[in-house]
Every structure is written in structure tokens, then in C-alpha cells.
Structure 1
Amino acid sequence: MADILEKIKTYKLEEVKNRKIDVPISDLELKASNADEIRGFHKSLKSASLDSFALIAEIKKASPSRGIIRPNFNPSQLAIAYETGGATCLSVLTDQPSFLGHEHFLISARNSCSLPVLRKDFMLDPYQIIESRSINADCILIIMAFVSDQQAKELEDTAIEYKMDVLIEVHDELELLRALKLKSRLIGINNRNLKTFEVSLANTKNLASQIPSEYTLVSESGIFTNGDMKELSSYGARSFLIGESLMKKENVSKATAHLLNQDLRKNI
């Protein structure tokens, strides 16, 4: 996975370089300042997790390890299905080379629902944060395995400037210690081992106790059932990022409601 991250970093640097030429940062800043009103991502998670589980439902067309996840891929319909099923927030993959994502997927999904949306991509330049706000993203992702401490600070500071929430993703204890030095109180623990690709809920269980109580903990990857969520909730996780297992279902709204043990929402 380390090699994969390096490969992604190489093409992402080139991608950002080219985008800066195509769209000067001054133009992007103007567009971002005129973007739609922010929907509170972290606030929604905290509210939903008070008496239930908060679900960040992911819209992902493909992945390097799985290939095409959902051939019949319609971000707008998926957003509506997730909201109808009871999701709290959305996560939309916009990385194209590795995940066949696109910014238009996020725009389409957000325009089709009332949920706050995370732009899930590999952020390493403040330009990408401003770009995220310009397409109406409400939250951005910082992957600690992908950036230095200084990069993480610059990314977070830019997000705060544009009033966006920041989900900081960690995979091990060292990354968690680095994440706790940042301002965001929203931390995601990825249960996927970046070296072996193996997924184990033990990762959340092992790291959760080191996260202060004032933080919101999101458990990511390897969560398939309400039972999995109940198991992890005993370790402090009440917010979950889930995508692939739901994306593969024919009826996404029913699968989402079943996962959350609730009825479909009416009159969305």
C-alpha cells in the first residue's frame, strides 16, 4: 500500500500542478466564496449519534483492489437512496485515476439531497481545499499517512478559513498522535491495514481508548452489520463510514435502513 500511496502522490502532484494552470487560484477563491451555504458535517454526526448511530454513506464507483463496485452508477440516485435509508452524511470519491471518481459526482449527489458531503480525495495542497469548497463540499479528508505534519496543518487551516469541517484519518498509533496535534475534533480510524490491505475491526478497538472524550470518533472500513456497529460502540465509536457493502446492494435505501435498524424516511 505504501507503494500505492507513493504512486497516488506522484500523479496527484501533477494533477494539482495542471489544475493550477487551468484554473488560477484567484478564480477558484472567487468561486469558493460564492459557494452554497455550508451544511454542518461534524454537527450532524454529533446530533445523530446522541440516540442512534451516525452513518457516513459512501458513493464510490470503483477501487484499486475491487475494480468496478457498482456498474449501474448514478450519484444522484445513490444520494437520494442513502438519505431515504437514514444516512447522516455522504462521502463522495472524486479521485479519478484510482477510483474512477469525479468532482461532478459530488456536485450531483449534493444537489440531490440535504445531507452534508465529504469530499474524499487525496489532499496535499491548499488549492484542493479551496477547490473542494468551490464545488460545495462541506468537509474534507486529511489522510495522515499521505501528508507531513506541516502539510496537514496547512490543509486544515485552509479548510477552517472556508468554514469547512475536517475529517482526519489515521491507521496507527503514530498517526493518531500526530492527528491529535491538529485542531479538528473529528477523527476517523481506518480498519484497513495499509501494508497488507487486511481489514480488522481490532484497529478501532485498539486505538479508540487513546482518543479524548471531546472528539468524535468515526470507524471506517470492514463494517457490514448493525452488530458490527454495536460492537464498536462499546469502544466509543458511534459514527461509521460505510460504502462498498451498501453500494453492492440492489436496493440501497432498504439496505441502508436495515443496517441502521430503522424505517425508510418519508417525504424527503
Structure 2
Amino acid sequence: MTILDEINANKRREVAAAKEKISIDELKLSPFFKRTSNSLKAALQAKGASGVIAEFKTKSPSRGMINANAEVTEVTSAYVAAGVSGLSVLTDHPYFGGSFENLAKARFANPQTPILRKDFMLDPYQVYEAKAHGADLILLIAASLSKEELLRLSETAKELGLEVLVEVHAEEEVDKLNPLVDLVGVNNRNLKTFEVDVETSVRLSKQLPSDMVRISESGLSSIENIHYLRSAGFDGFLMGENFMKTEDPGKTCTEFMRNLR
């Protein structure tokens, strides 16, 4: 069993338990259901956009604890002040230290910034959770879903006014994309082995639809990475550990963004 298989198996148990506690009708009572979502696609295509999507996570399966002391409101507010185009907030707790509380806090602190619910989405119920806790878009990992499952989750997202980011890592996964997908991300990290190679983005860029907004994810740590990937046709750059592993993620991000300009 790969790490991804293990995470997905645990996620299915989590979702089953969540359904027993809170119904979809109860999720729909959230005030966040009344808000209009911010568009990450538009933010990345805006003139002068940095393209950086800064992530908040406190741990990961590959690194263990990254930053136990980081506070989500403080960090995400600093990210936004630094000029990022969007935020990514982990909601998986066992493997990434995330929570819905973090997602909601980031939403309240940054009302105009697109926020991605970063999790392992396997069930339409989770799309309702994302909307109920303030997300603007969801991540769908192609390696975890069949083409039919990915379409069904995309349809649910669209019904709720959320954007869809589909993550691929291999050429055969590109075939799972559907017309409802707003953005495509290439994960430079192999979720089965957790090895990282930025060249994965460059290699797969030739296989991606030419009209689709592209995001490179994982393993990005330098200004050179951003310029290199932008020249390869990428509009967005998802960065997490590079900021979160430092004592002051917001300050690190601010310095990075200043140098990027």
C-alpha cells in the first residue's frame, strides 16, 4: 500500500463518520453558502499577478512536523499583505495537521483572497464541506479518482459556485480532465513515493490543454524556480514548506515576494 492509498483509505473512514454527524442540509445552513466565491483563475490571470499561491500547513507525511507554532490568521494575513495571488489551506488533520477551523479563520481574515481547500477529495459530501467552511475552490487529485468520479465532483463544485483545480502527476492522468475544470496543477511530488522533481511540471506542460490555467505544485523554493516555470507556461506556483518551515512564514514570504518583483 502506498502513502496515497493509506491516506485515501483513512479519508473514506473520516467522511463516513462526518456524514453521521452532520448532514448536507446542515452544512447548507452555514453563512458561507451565501457568499460569492473569489476566482483563483482570474487572480492568476490578472495583470501583474505574482502567481504565488501560499500554503498553510503545519506538518506533512514526508517531513513530519513543519511548524507547530504557526497561527493561521497571522500567517495567511501576512501572505496576502505580501502580494500572493491565492491561499491554500490544508484541512486534513492526521497527515497534514489541518482543520476546518484553520480554513474558516483564513476566510474571515482574508475575505477577498481566493482560498483553496487542500485535502483528499473523494466524495461529493466533501465539496459541501468546502463551501460550508469558506473555500473558493477545491483540489481534485487525478491519481485518487476515476474519470467518472472526477467529473461527478467537478459537477458538484460547479453547482455550489466553486472552482475546480485538478492535480496531475503522470501523462495518463491528463486524460481525466473535463470541461468543468478551471485550473490544472502539476504536482512535482510523486504522491506514491513523495519524491520531488520540478522537471515533472516542464515535462507534463507539453501534454496539458493550451487554454487551461496551469499551476506548478511542490518543491518550489527559489525565485529561479518561478521564472523557469513561468517560461514553461505556468501561471501559478503553489508554495508551502518553503515558507512554513521557517520561524516566521509571513516574513519569509514577504522577503521572497519582494525579491520576486
Q: Shorter-chain TM-score category?
A: over 0.9
- Once residues 242 and 185 of structure 2 are traced to their aligned partners in structure 1, the CA distance between those partners, rounded to angstroms, is 18
Question: 1:76 and 2:73 equivalent?
Answer: yes
Matching residue's letter, 2:173: E
- Once residues 239 and 34 of structure 1 are traced to their aligned partners in structure 2, the CA distance between those partners, rounded to angstroms, is 27
1:103 corresponds to which of 100, 103, 111: 100
Summarize deviations over 1:18-51 as a string: whole Å, max 9, x none.
111111122223437744331222211221xx43
For 1:98, what is the secondary structure of its paired residue? coil
Aligned equivalent of 2:148:
150
Q: Is the 8 A contact 1:171 1:189 kept in 2?
A: yes
Summarize deviations over 1:84-132 as a string: whole Å, max 9, x none.
1111110000001111111000101111123111000111110100111
Question: Counterparts of 1:50-199 in structure 2 under 5 Å?
Answer: 50-113=47-110, 114-179=112-177, 181-199=178-196
State the number of aligned residues. 260
Question: 1:220 and 2:228 equivalent?
Answer: no
- Once residues 199 and 4 of structure 1 are traced to their aligned partners in structure 2, the CA distance between those partners, rounded to angstroms, is 15
TM-score normalised according to structure 2 size: 0.93
Aligned equivalent of 2:39:
40
Q: Is the 8 A contact 2:50 2:83 kept in 1?
A: no
**Change in CA separation of 1:263 and 1:85 when aligned onto 2, cut-off 3 Å:** farther
- Once residues 226 and 26 of structure 1 are traced to their aligned partners in structure 2, the CA distance between those partners, rounded to angstroms, is 45
Q: CA deviation at 1:148?
A: 1.3
Q: Is the 8 A contact 1:139 1:165 kept in 2?
A: yes
**Change in CA separation of 1:23 and 1:195 when aligned onto 2, cut-off 3 Å:** closer
Matching residue's letter, 1:259: F
TM-score normalised according to structure 1 size: 0.91
Q: Is the 8 A contact 1:220 1:241 kept in 2?
A: yes
Summarize deviations over 1:190-232 as a string: whole Å, max 9, x none.
0112343221111011011222321100000111111111011
CA RMSD for the aligned pairs?
1.9
Question: 1:201 and 2:198 equivalent?
Answer: yes
Unaligned runs of 5+ in 1: none
For 1:96, what is the secondary structure of its paired residue? coil
- My pick for the range that moved more, 207-216 or 74-83, is 207-216
1:253 corresponds to which of 236, 243, 250: 250
For 2:122, what is the secondary structure of its paired residue? coil
- Once residues 34 and 229 of structure 1 are traced to their aligned partners in structure 2, the CA distance between those partners, rounded to angstroms, is 35
- Once residues 13 and 51 of structure 1 are traced to their aligned partners in structure 2, the CA distance between those partners, rounded to angstroms, is 41
- Once residues 252 and 126 of structure 1 are traced to their aligned partners in structure 2, the CA distance between those partners, rounded to angstroms, is 33
Matching residue's letter, 1:134: A
Summarize deviations over 1:125-148 as a string: whole Å, max 9, x none.
101001110111100000001111
Unaligned runs of 5+ in 2: none
Matching residue's letter, 2:131: R
- Once residues 152 and 222 of structure 2 are traced to their aligned partners in structure 1, the CA distance between those partners, rounded to angstroms, is 37
Q: Is the 8 A contact 2:59 2:66 kept in 1?
A: yes
- Once residues 142 and 10 of structure 1 are traced to their aligned partners in structure 2, the CA distance between those partners, rounded to angstroms, is 16
Q: Is the 8 A contact 2:223 2:259 kept in 1?
A: no
- Once residues 157 and 99 of structure 2 are traced to their aligned partners in structure 1, the CA distance between those partners, rounded to angstroms, is 20
Q: Is the 8 A contact 2:246 2:252 kept in 1?
A: yes
Q: Is the 8 A contact 2:52 2:238 kept in 1?
A: yes
